[in-house]
Amino acid sequence: MSEPRAPRATSSGAGRVLIAVYAIFALSATARAGVQIATRFSEAPVAYLLSGLAGVVYILATIGLAGSTPGHRRLAWGAVGFELAGVLIVGLVTVLDTGDFPDDTVWSVFGRGYGFIPLILPFVGLWWLRRTGARR
Amino acid sequence: MIDALELVVLVAAAAVALFGVVTTMLNRPPGRPHRLVVGVFEALLVVQAVIAAARVFGGVQLPEQSTFLIYLLVSVCVMPIGLQFATAEPTRWGGTVIAVAAIGTGVAVWRLEGLWAAGGV
């Protein structure tokens, strides 16, 4: 139905709103994990390392979405895909068994502590990457 | 921190967010009104941060002092960066970018209040 077209920039128009949301999550998740790891790492090493990993994934997604090269696009696909897997797996594990995970990672209980935005965000990200991508 | 000021800041955050979304709906790219609105909001945030920082360094003890100071720094940094990013590409979406920054700042202020209250001051 639609004509073939070259990929459009992910960082233009409404994409800038998405990048702003990712940037805020990158900042808050990384800063929070930094404080947790620096001040009380031994209390819950797994959860805090996971917080740190989530922060890094949000940073990579922000960079990927903000950039304009095919490499940036691949980075964004990888980071947002990992984010989706992360929030689903950690969400499921924390719903089934809260024992090993304190509730303070971004992805715990599907991101309940963050208004479930961490659950919605990767779907929006993947949709946006697909929408702006090349069409054959 | 200071209850009255905190309430003003949170209401201002909501107002800035609403303003940003409305300008997107009206198809207005970010311009002078946006800079003015963000400037007023930022002034309130700076006043709050200066008072809170002065009280912390003046001897108020908080259970999570470093976290509090990081949130305080974040609360004043997000709006200028958001405004810069919103105006760099002047499309209608700039207003929504400002709204996202205002909501993020509002959440930081909300957390600040929680961390302050935990100090029992």
| pLDDT, position A102 | 61
Cα distance from N-terminal residue to C-terminal residue, chain B: 8
Q: Given an 8 Å threshold on Cβ–Cβ distance, is A24 in contact with B66?
A: no
A95 part of contact set with chain B, CB < 8 Å: no
Q: Which residue has the higher pLDDT, B97 or A5?
A: B97
How high is the ipTM of this complex? 0.90
> Distance (Å) from the C-alpha of residue B38 to the closest C-alpha of chain A?
16
> Distance (Å) from the C-alpha of residue A100 to the closest C-alpha of chain B?
23
A63-118, pLDDT tens digit by residue?
A: 999 999 999 999 999 999 999 999 999 999 888 876 666 657 889 889 988 889 99
- A6 pLDDT band (50/70/90 cuts)? confident
Paired with A5 in beta bridges are A135
Q: How far is CA B62 from CA A38, A43, B2, B95, in A?
A: 17, 20, 15, 36
For residue A72, give the amino acid letter.
Answer: H
B14-73, pLDDT tens digit by residue?
A: 999 999 999 999 999 999 999 999 999 999 999 999 999 999 999 888 888 888 998 999
Q: Which of A20, A32, A38 has the CB atom closest to B101's CB atom?
A: A20
Question: What is the rounded CA–CA span in Å between residue B105 and residue A63?
Answer: 21
Q: Look up the pTM and report it.
A: 0.91
> Distance (Å) from the C-alpha of residue A48 to the closest C-alpha of chain B?
15
Q: Which of B64, B78, B93 has the CB atom closest to A16's CB atom?
A: B93
Question: What is the rounded CA–CA span in Å between residue B74 and residue B71?
Answer: 5
Q: Which residue has the higher pLDDT, A46 or A86?
A: A86
Using the predicted structure, report yes or no on whether residue B10 has a pLDDT greater than 90.
yes
